[in-house]
């Protein structure tokens, strides 16, 4: 890559020029080659052929980013007022979903203890208007699992006064494919290496195929250049994509993910946590002194009271695995694999008594997974019942209707110590 000269007097889309002696002749950067590294000198000049006062200043801040204008495709994010944080919000969420998440903050008082109304401008932009008059602090956001890597940020659109409502814009922007913010001051300029071998660049080349790349340069936080730049695929073999072999890079990353400066353990962990997880429902209503009474020869909807819920390991995208009162259904998502464990103590009323347990998902399917239990110790002798489904995949019928647990016995019995555990071991693709 030749030296780059940027005329800080010119519009940002026409500011890359031929040099200090030709400060007004445009000279766009030629095509860059993915997989290459460029030792780059960067100079800032003026219309009169002199250097900008900040060019070469060791105290100046220089940032260079190369990226497409692509958008994220999936995942979730959160918003916060600094005191409370929303539940995970899906990319592309409706205005009402974002509004509900913000208004639920601080025990329902809302963001900064104020309610808001939200207008969706696009999948990457929302306008948030506060109900109360006056200024408001700025919201902030964090990615949970946005893919490709993206960040939600907020900015003030209307500051808010005693007579106007504050309004902020939430924007979700892709992380740049290439980013370099560490530059060394040299005579009249700056030097750094632009390494075009990042995972984000590979993602952009694949996901945003055909979209133009832009180079953006900031000097002391002000954008001074934003122009289209060519990006060519490497003609080198894959093993030479970067300075070290691609296979070696992958082996190094597998052994120590932190070796890649772009790797975020917390983001990776959060993404995995959206795939699997469990929730436990404990029925404390029915005890040995006040058990659940089930009649004989009757298909009975076995209703587990969700008095105590352990949900610290529940996947972020699952609102609830089990609804409890009044519907008492196990929820399903088309394509998920759900492990079901129902445990309780049963006391039979007769000898030679049997007990059937199954799940009913309604529709044309109806009953599934019936299991039979017996009471070999006879009437009045309690025994533990463990109804377990280690791989109950859920498809569209289960998603539409939910799954209800049913029991039937040839004689009456009582039940107590009821515990329902639900575990998603596979998330639908």
**What's the pLDDT tens digit per position in 128-140?**
999 999 999 999 9
Share of the chain above pLDDT 90, in %: 73
**What's the pLDDT tens digit per position in 292-307?**
999 999 999 999 999 9
**What's the pLDDT tens digit per position in 73-130?**
889 999 999 999 999 999 999 999 999 999 999 999 999 999 999 999 999 999 999 9
Cα–Cα dist 105/404, whole Å: 33
Q: Which of 174, 199, 224 is the last residue of a domain?
A: 174
Token output for 306:
């969700």
Do 98 and 149 fall into the same domain?
yes
Do 304 and 156 fall into the same domain?
no
Place of tokens 């699997």: 276
Q: Which of 138, 153, 174 is the last residue of a domain?
A: 174
Number of domains in the chain: 4
* CATH code for the domain in which residue 389 is found: 2.60.120.1120
DSSP state of 322: B
pLDDT of 388 above 70: yes
Do 364 and 304 fall into the same domain?
yes
Cα–Cα dist 87/101, whole Å: 7
Do 254 and 295 fall into the same domain?
no
Which carries the bigger pLDDT value, residue 251 or residue 143?
A: 143
Detail the DSSP E strand segments found in 28-180: 32-33, 37-45, 62-67, 76-80, 89-90, 116-122, 125-133, 140-143, 150-158, 165-174, 178-180
Do 107 and 24 fall into the same domain?
no
Residue 179 burial (C-beta neighbours within 10 Å; 0-12, 13-18, 19+): middle
**What's the pLDDT tens digit per position in 305-333?**
999 999 988 888 888 999 989 999 999 99
Q: What is the pLDDT of residue 239?
A: 43
**What's the pLDDT tens digit per position in 36-80?**
899 999 999 999 999 999 999 999 999 999 999 888 888 999 999
Cα–Cα dist 395/390, whole Å: 16
Q: What is the pLDDT of residue 407?
A: 98
Do 395 and 372 fall into the same domain?
yes
Do 87 and 29 fall into the same domain?
no
Domain residue limits at 81: 76-174
User: Per DSSP, what are the bridge partners of residue 22?
Assistant: 19
Cα–Cα dist 337/343, whole Å: 20
Cα–Cα dist 330/282, whole Å: 14
pLDDT of 273 above 50: yes
Do 85 and 127 fall into the same domain?
yes
The mean per-residue pLDDT over the stretch 225-232 comes to 91
Do 100 and 237 fall into the same domain?
no
Q: Which of 124, 140, 174 is the last residue of a domain?
A: 174
Do 91 and 215 fall into the same domain?
no
pLDDT of 1 above 90: no
Do 88 and 123 fall into the same domain?
yes
Do 162 and 95 fall into the same domain?
yes
Position 15 confidence tier, pLDDT thresholds 50, 70, 90: very high
Rg (CA), the chain: 30
């Amino acid at each position: 890559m030749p030296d780059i000269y940027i005329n800080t007097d010119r519009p940002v889309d026409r500011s890359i020029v031929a040099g200090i002696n030709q400060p007004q002749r445009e000279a766009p950067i030629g095509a860059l080659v993915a997989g290459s590294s460029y030792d780059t000198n960067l100079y800032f000049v003026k219309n009169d052929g002199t250097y900008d006062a900040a060019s070469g200043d060791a105290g100046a801040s220089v940032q260079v980013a190369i990226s497409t204008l692509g958008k994220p495709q999936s995942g979730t994010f959160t918003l916060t007022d600094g005191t409370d944080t929303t539940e995970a919000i899906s990319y592309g969420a409706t205005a009402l979903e974002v509004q509900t998440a913000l208004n639920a903050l601080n025990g329902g008082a809302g963001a900064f203890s104020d309610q808001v109304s939200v207008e969706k401008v696009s999948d990457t932009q929302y306008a948030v208007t506060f109900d109360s008059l006056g200024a408001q602090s700025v919201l902030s956001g964090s990615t949970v699992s946005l893919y490709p890597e993206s960040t939600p940020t907020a900015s003030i659109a209307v500051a808010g006064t005693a007579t106007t409502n504050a309004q902020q814009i939430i924007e979700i922007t892709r992380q740049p494919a290439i980013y370099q913010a560490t530059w060394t001051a040299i005579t009249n300029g700056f030097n750094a290496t632009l390494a075009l071998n990042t995972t984000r660049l590979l993602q952009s080349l694949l996901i945003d195929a055909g979209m133009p790349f832009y180079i953006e340069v900031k000097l002391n936080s002000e954008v001074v250049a934003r122009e289209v730049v060519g990006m060519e695929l490497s003609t080198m073999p894959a093993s030479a994509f970067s300075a070290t072999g691609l296979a070696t890079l992958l082996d190094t990353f597998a052994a120590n993910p932190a070796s890649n400066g772009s790797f975020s353990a917390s983001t990776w962990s959060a993404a995995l946590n959206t795939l699997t997880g469990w929730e436990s429902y404990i029925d404390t209503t029915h005890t040995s002194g006040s058990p659940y009474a089930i009649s004989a020869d009757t298909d009975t909807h076995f209703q587990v009271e969700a008095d105590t819920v352990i949900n610290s390991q529940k996947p972020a995208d699952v609102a609830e695995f089990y609804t409890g009162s009044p519907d008492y259904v196990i929820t399903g998502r088309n394509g998920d694999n759900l492990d079901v464990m129902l445990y309780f103590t049963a006391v039979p009323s007769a000898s030679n008594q049997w007990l059937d347990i199954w799940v009913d998902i309604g529709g044309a399917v109806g009953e599934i997974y019936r299991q039979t239990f017996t009471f070999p110790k006879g009437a009045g002798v309690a025994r533990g019942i463990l109804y377990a489904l280690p791989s109950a995949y859920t498809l569209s019928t289960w998603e539409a209707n939910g799954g209800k647990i049913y029991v039937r016995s040839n004689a009456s019995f009582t039940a107590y110590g009821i515990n329902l555990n639900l575990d998603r071991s596979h998330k639908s693709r």
